[in-house]
Structure 1
Amino acid sequence: MSNIKDILESVKGGTLSVDEALLSIKEKPFEDLGYAVVDLHRRCRQGVTEVVYGASKTPEQIVGIVNSLLKNGEKTILITRLSKEKAEIVKRSISFTYYEGAKIAIVGSLPEKDGNGKVVVATGGTSDIDVAEEAALTLEALGNEVVRIYDVGVSGLHRLLSRLDDIMSASVIVAVAGMEGALASVIGGLADCPVIAVPTSVGYGTCFNGLSALLSMLNSCASGVSVVNIDNGFGAGYQASMINHVRIKG
């Protein structure tokens, strides 16, 4: 049992003794596997289990880290940037659901949706969907209700305006776009909630692999728009989840 809140609730409910609870809390907050030091108290501190970045790890390392988290009571584990080839090897040892376009694997079942409201994930074009799905699946793995609004870029603005009800009712919006990245500014001028802009590397020559969209989004005149790195759907999804789970403290 790695979540201190769960431990305290178990003591309150009488299913765990004070001595057993003390022992659980005293347990080492990490496990050193030699190639990785797995943070077993990440969820206690931040409310989210350690996320496994798969791109630069071997399949064997991914299996070892995930098994460590599972052994210590984690129910839902997110693996990001996992290639199809690597996923096929990892799946021989661990059961998970794999999403090829987003390069995301989710170990275990999705948690209950416990955010404050809905999170909208919107894209400028179909070519931006893989990055958007990385954000959307991250959000779902972290307990958020997600509304997807895809291919509503500024070259056909009526498509976005037809979804104004979703835009206006969102608690946070992730706007994913390449080319000139104008979608984030348009949504930022319509919404009364935080907008997280994700520039993508989609576009022709002078898009400079997403740099043009990044600079446009950073220079947005719409208040309330913040920007993550190029193609960083995971970072946007994680940040949006934090906003959607903000509680009044004290």
Structure 2
Amino acid sequence: MRELLEAVAAGELSPTEAEARLAGYVTTDAGRFDAAREHRRGAPEGILAEGKTPAEVATLATAALDSTGRAIVTRVAAADVAAVEEVVDESVDVVHDERASTLVARRADYEPPRLDATAAIVTGGTADAAVAGEAATVLEAMGATVERIDDVGVAHLGRILDHLDALRAADVLVVAAGREGALPTVVAGLVDTPVIGVPVSTGYGHGGDGAAALSGMLQSCTVLSVVNVDAGFVAGTQAGLVARAVSDARAGAE
């Protein structure tokens, strides 16, 4: 502890960084940021912007940057992005994916992780792109190589079969689909890699809110894992943990 205090006194360590090392989290007026999650869990903490004011989002993003060098924010609105950009230093790199509603900010001295593993993100249709993009954001943040295979729904099986080689080459698959949610079941029957199904709230009428897609994936006769409706961040994180295990195994085999 004395070394931490001396580092703070010398200006080598910020109070936020010191708090994160001591407690494992940082306390702000907007809530607590779990700065130790990536070390403890292997997956980074994400800041959900929904339900928070832009000022609260900016405060938590600042805490993330100060304690880990990076901030990952999901479900952001334009006001959230503007609030973050207003408070961060010009040296901070801010990347906003408007379609995925995500924001990733990195300090200039932040060194991103690199995994020797590839994750393919597959969508049934263009309407699934937002949820798929959220999964891609966290997978890239965890260091995996991400490949996109889009608009290959089961209405024409030839579309997914045309990408069979890429599907089988990936180390883990995230498959997002709305409507009846059949695509993950089909894909899981074609590959020997883990498949994570993401039901998407696209469609209309009975079950069009993602309920039909969720039920279909849960009843899949081919083996796959399923996350909640529109849970792109959760699917991306799970896929990232698989990718990290694959990468570690490859490193150990060398």
State TM-score, norm by structure 2. 0.82
* C-alpha deviation, 1:144, in angstroms: 0.8
Give the Cα separation in 2 of the matches to 1:26 and 1:163: 45
Q: 1:115–1:54: structure 2 CA closer, same or farther, 3 Å change rule?
A: same
* C-alpha deviation, 1:33, in angstroms: 1.6
Give the Cα separation in 1 of the matches to 2:70 and 2:209: 33
Q: 1:151–1:67: structure 2 CA closer, same or farther, 3 Å change rule?
A: same
* C-alpha deviation, 1:89, in angstroms: 2.8
Q: 1:25–1:201: structure 2 CA closer, same or farther, 3 Å change rule?
A: closer
Amino acid at match of 2:96: Y
Amino acid at match of 2:38: R
Map of 2:207 onto structure 1: 207
Unpaired segments ≥5 residues, structure 2: 1-17
Give the Cα separation in 2 of the matches to 1:244 and 1:212: 29
Structure 1 segments, 4+ long, off by >6 Å, are: 23-26
Give the Cα separation in 2 of the matches to 1:41 and 1:88: 27
SS in 2 for 1:61: helix
Contact persistence 2:199–2:214 (CA under 8 A): yes
* C-alpha deviation, 1:90, in angstroms: 2.6
Give the Cα separation in 2 of the matches to 1:26 and 1:106: 22
Map of 1:241 onto structure 2: 240
Give the Cα separation in 2 of the matches to 1:99 and 1:230: 20
Give the Cα separation in 2 of the matches to 1:25 and 1:91: 23
SS in 2 for 1:155: coil
Match of 1:89 among 76, 83, 92: 83
1:222 paired to 2:216: no
Give the Cα separation in 2 of the matches to 1:92 and 1:228: 35
1:49 paired to 2:44: yes
* C-alpha deviation, 1:24, in angstroms: 9.4
State TM-score, norm by structure 1. 0.83
Q: Mean alpha-carbon deviation: is it higher for 227-236 or for 35-44?
A: 35-44
Map of 1:79 onto structure 2: 73
Identity within the alignment, %:
36
Q: 1:210–1:26: structure 2 CA closer, same or farther, 3 Å change rule?
A: closer
Amino acid at match of 1:183: L
Q: 1:39–1:112: structure 2 CA closer, same or farther, 3 Å change rule?
A: closer
SS in 1 for 2:135: helix
